[in-house]
Amino acid sequence: MAPLAFADSGPACNAAAAGACQIIYNDSGNSANHGDTGVSPPSITSTFTNTQTLTGVNGPSGWGAIQLETMAGSGGAADSDGGHGGAGGMGSNVTATVGAGVTAQGINSGGILRFTAQGGTGAPGQGDHVGNPGVGGVGGGGGAVWVQMDGTVTSKDAGSPGLYMQSLGGTSAMSGKGGSDGFFGPLSGNAGGSNSVTANIGGRIDTVGTGASINGIGGAGGDGVGDSGGLSESEARAGGNGGSSVYAVQATVTGSIQSSAGDGIDVLAAGGAGGQGGTAHSAPDSSTGGAGGAGGSAPTAQLTISGQVGGALQGASVASSGGAGGAAGGAGDSTASGGGAGGAGGNGGPATLTLQAGARL
């Protein structure tokens, strides 16, 4: 059996992952009490400078050579008419230093080195009979991710990124029971945005697949609930808005990244997609579909290179992309019938690539 991985500081590595270090605080399957905010797991700060070789293992329960992840808990669903859903928990930060004496190798589709921080899901609200429906909880914001990578990363597997980093905003759940005769359906909540993502790559990454993938992505808005129709009208709800962020996604390469069959490094900042509008069914007087939720706005994406970066597909990609607007909800037969409007797309932010003296791309 391979020796257990160890860090100079930080939480103990998972003993089940011999030869690797896996620390995952996952509260995503835990929901808060009715209407309450989801829990935030502890942050992770780990330093690896001891000389060692760590190996990632692929599979359904695979792990990276070093894999540090936090996932916040879901909000609590409303439990009474007109009740609001709880917000998703805020993502917790992941901070890691990988020293020059560390070698990471092997196979893992999630990344040989993997560092992620995810916000929790906002919970469904509940409708009401008197016109004051509840609202779904907002998704929690993703945690900040910061990595100093001065070690060596190698993989001969085309599906294994050398370094994967992501801050992911929490989604908003589709709110509960749809509208009907005498019942007003709940409103969908909005999703959470990403937090800052910072990669400082001073070591060496040598892969077949993508060398480094650095991401900040907003959560997706929940779909709007439909309306099954009433005595006179049917009106579906709008989808929730995708998560927006103002926190930059940035990478600095002073070392080297080489991919023999993929991209050298990809830096992506993206807003979350808006939720789809609900569908309204037939009603005598009017039937109105729900509007799509707006896409989230994306923050700045930055890449600075003073080292060497190369890739068979492209050396470097830097993008900031607003989220797609949600699709409009349809309407049924009625004297006055109209589908909802599609959601507006989110705004992209600045995307910059800076080549400093001595850079090779």
Cα-only R_g, the chain: 23
In the block, tokens 């945690």 appear at: 143
Average pLDDT, the chain: 89
Residue 59, phi-psi category: left (phi > 0), alpha (psi -120 to 50), beta (remainder): left
Give the span between the Cα atoms of 319 and 270, in whole angstroms: 8
Out of 20-24, 152-156, 259-263, 265-269, which region has the weakest mean confidence (pLDDT)?
20-24
Q: 190 forms bridges with which residues in the sheet? A: none
Q: Identify whether the C-beta of residue 249 lies closer than 8 Å to the C-beta of residue 269.
A: yes
State the pLDDT at residue 179: 47
Is the model's pLDDT at 144 over the cut of 80?
yes
pLDDT digits (tens, 9 = 90+) for 287-319: 777 788 999 999 999 999 999 999 999 999 999
Question: Computed from CA positions of residues 69, 41, 50, 215, in that sequence, does the dihedral angle turn out positive or negative?
Answer: positive
For 349, list phi and psi in degrees, rounded to 5. Answer: -105, -175
pLDDT digits (tens, 9 = 90+) for 340-356: 788 999 999 999 999 99
Residue with the larger pLDDT of the pair 11 and 334: 11
Q: Which of 277, 283, 292 is nearest to 228 (CA)?
A: 283
Is the model's pLDDT at 157 over the cut of 80?
yes
Residue with the larger pLDDT of the pair 115 and 131: 115
State the pLDDT at residue 1: 39
Residue with the larger pLDDT of the pair 177 and 246: 246
Task: Note the pTM of the prediction, 2 decimals.
Answer: 0.93
Give the span between the Cα atoms of 159 and 207, in whole angstroms: 10
CB atoms within 10 A of CB 150: 19
pLDDT digits (tens, 9 = 90+) for 207-258: 999 999 999 999 999 998 877 766 677 677 888 999 999 999 999 999 999 9
State the pLDDT at residue 182: 60
